[in-house]
Amino acid sequence: MVGAGECGRNIALQLYYQLTSMRYTYLMKNFYYFLTDSEDTLRVMSNIHKKGIPSEAINPEKANERVHPLNVFMLSPASSHAGVGGAWMISAEMARDFFRGNEEVNERYIDLINEHITWCDCFNIFNSAGGGTGNGAGPVFLEYLRSKSTQDSARKLYTATIVLPFEKESGGWRDVNAAANMARYSTLCDGILIADNQHVQNMMKQNTMAVHETVNRLLANAWMWMNACSSSDLSISPKGWEGADFKRSFRIGDCSAPVVPCYREEPKDKLKKINIGWIVLRTIKENCAAKCLPETARRILVIVALPDKKEIPSYESDIMAYLQEELFKERNPEIDIIFLRGRAMQHLSITVLLVSPTIPRLEELQTHFEAYLDDPQTFEEDMAGQVSERSYDTTLHAYRIEYDKFDRYLEYLNKFSQSG
């Protein structure tokens, strides 16, 4: 797990915190964390301490069986940046310099990354799509991970988990950056897991901080239970899922599928009163990370974590019946249901992954991107202070390239949806 930039770091830390502070420490051994930013690591580490994570975690030499290490490093030790604003191209170049190994202090982290590449079957980048640091560095990291694992790439899962900006940030460079981020990930990933801050705020009616916390928890839970699908510490039926299984479910031809995660917890005695199919349906309708049309999804993955090991064979048919009758009507998308059972679980946890549903926000990003490039004055004003006057034309050219990629990506998704 690579947390790039402030947003990506916070999602990764939420996952780390949940695994260490809750009942699922047996899953922690399946994760390796790399947190990177253009900020000073002292400031980053101060933020980590505030989350209640022990200091030993951010010092790999002091980590032990009780404390799982967090590898925290700056993209460039010589950087004076406190973030790069929206200038993702600066952080992209910083990430490339990082992997060139020009700084001796970063060599040990490159060695650690290379070491983990050999035995990991899943690589994920967390980042804000509308920001700068994670937006620029994330795709560079994923490209490096792919290039170093080409021999086994057919069985390895490559994903990005991104967060779209709030509406109040919409229409300007953050929307443009979000579209550019997805464009660069579209051919590098098997799937792009998407959360939308504005959608979650519309659902919650809460302030920005509460929305960030909710989004971080939702994405952390989705990854926790995706990982649990291959855990030897749980009873899994009908079969365990490895990275290769998720890869086959996500990939759309030569492009990555947009994937909308949904997550819900219920008290364990809820099943005595309510049909589990209804709970799964409510999870999709009320606990989606991004606004979408779930009935258009190409595939649905449902992960049900049960609080005991009792066999309940009717659950699968209940879920299938509810989804078919209430959601899909005449359509017959592929539906996979995985049941996880373990005595340490105290809640019923439902994770749903909607693979390639229609996401209206993506069309909005494209519209804003096009309007932005058609208004050179606004572009120049927004880039003032982020790029030099001499590199303005180069920056505009780079954005036009990413617009063309994003346009082709959406066109490909639309054609695939129509053919399906």
The pLDDT, as a whole number, for residue 232 is 86
**Both 191 and 269 in a single domain?**
no
**Both 24 and 155 in a single domain?**
yes
The pLDDT, as a whole number, for residue 216 is 96
The CATH number of whichever domain residue 343 belongs to comes to 3.30.1330.20
pLDDT at 62 over 70: no
**Both 314 and 213 in a single domain?**
no
| Residue-wise pLDDT tens digits, 8-52 | 999 999 999 888 876 788 888 889 999 888 766 666 677 777 777
| Residue-wise pLDDT tens digits, 325-350 | 999 888 888 999 999 987 667 789 99
Confidence of residue 375 (pLDDT cuts 50, 70, 90): confident
**Both 388 and 286 in a single domain?**
no
**Both 211 and 291 in a single domain?**
no
State how beta strands 235-237 and 334-341 pair.
Answer: antiparallel
Number of structural domains in the chain = 3
| Residue-wise pLDDT tens digits, 69-78 | 888 888 876 5
**Both 73 and 167 in a single domain?**
yes
Beta carbons of 142 and 122 less than 8 angstroms apart: no
Nearest to 256 by CA among 148, 406, 113: 406
- Evaluate whether residue 30 is within a structural domain: yes
Beta carbons of 172 and 131 less than 8 angstroms apart: no
Domain with 348, as residue range(s), is: 260-355
Confidence of residue 395 (pLDDT cuts 50, 70, 90): confident
Does the bond joining 238 to the residue before it have cis omega, within 30 degrees of 0? Answer: yes
The pLDDT, as a whole number, for residue 306 is 87
Give the residue from 318, 333, 355 where a domain finishes. 355
Decide which of 420 and 89 is more confident. 89
pLDDT at 80 over 60: no
- Evaluate whether residue 112 is within a structural domain: yes
Beta carbons of 318 and 276 less than 8 angstroms apart: yes
**Both 337 and 384 in a single domain?**
no
Average pLDDT over residues 163-175: 80
| Residue-wise pLDDT tens digits, 124-133 | 999 999 988 9
Give the residue from 355, 386, 405 where a domain finishes. 355
Write the CB contacts of 415 (distance below 8 Å, at least 6 apart in sequence). Answer: none
The pLDDT, as a whole number, for residue 234 is 87
- 60: which strand partners? none
Q: With 0.95 as the threshold, say if the pTM is over it.
A: no
| Residue-wise pLDDT tens digits, 96-138 | 999 987 667 778 889 989 988 888 889 999 999 998 899 999 9
Q: What percent of the chain has pLDDT over 70?
A: 88
**Both 164 and 311 in a single domain?**
no
The pLDDT, as a whole number, for residue 46 is 72
Average pLDDT over residues 271-300: 93
CA-based max dimension of the chain: 67
**Both 59 and 198 in a single domain?**
yes
Tell me the C-alpha distance between 305 and 418, whole Å: 34
| Residue-wise pLDDT tens digits, 179-221 | 999 999 999 999 999 999 999 999 988 898 999 999 999 999 9
Beta carbons of 181 and 138 less than 8 angstroms apart: yes
Tell me the C-alpha distance between 340 and 304, whole Å: 6
Q: What is the CA radius of gyration of the chain?
A: 21
The pLDDT, as a whole number, for residue 410 is 96
Confidence of residue 357 (pLDDT cuts 50, 70, 90): very high
Angle between helices 133-148 and 88-100 (to 10 degrees): 40
**Both 307 and 162 in a single domain?**
no
Tell me the C-alpha distance between 161 and 264, whole Å: 19
**Both 351 and 366 in a single domain?**
no
Q: What percent of the chain has pLDDT over 90?
A: 49
Average pLDDT over residues 367-375: 89
- Evaluate whether residue 278 is within a structural domain: yes
The pLDDT, as a whole number, for residue 191 is 97
Give the residue from 194, 216, 250 where a domain finishes. 250
- Evaluate whether residue 255 is within a structural domain: no
3-state secondary structure the chain: CEEEHHHHHHHHHHHHHHHHHCCCHHHHHHCCEEEEECCCHHHHHHHHHHCCCCHHHHCHHHCCCCCCCEEEEECCCCCCCCCCCCCHHHHHHHHHHHHHCCCHHHHHHHHHHHHHHHHCCEEEEEEECCCCHHHHHHHHHHHHHHHHCHHHHHHCEEEEEEEECCHHHCCCHHHHHHHHHHHHHCCCCCEEEEEEHHHHHHHHCCCHHHHHHHHHHHHHHHHHHHHHCCCCCCEEECCCCCHHHHHHHHCECCECEEEEEEEEEEEHHHHHCCCHHHHHHHHHHHCECCCCEHHHCCEEEEEEEECCCCCCCHHHHHHHHHHHHHHHCCCCCEEEEEEEECCCCCEEEEEEEEECCECHHHHHHHHHHHHHHCCHHHHHHHHECCECHHHHHHHHHHHHHHHHHHHHHHHHHHHHHHHC
**Both 319 and 368 in a single domain?**
no
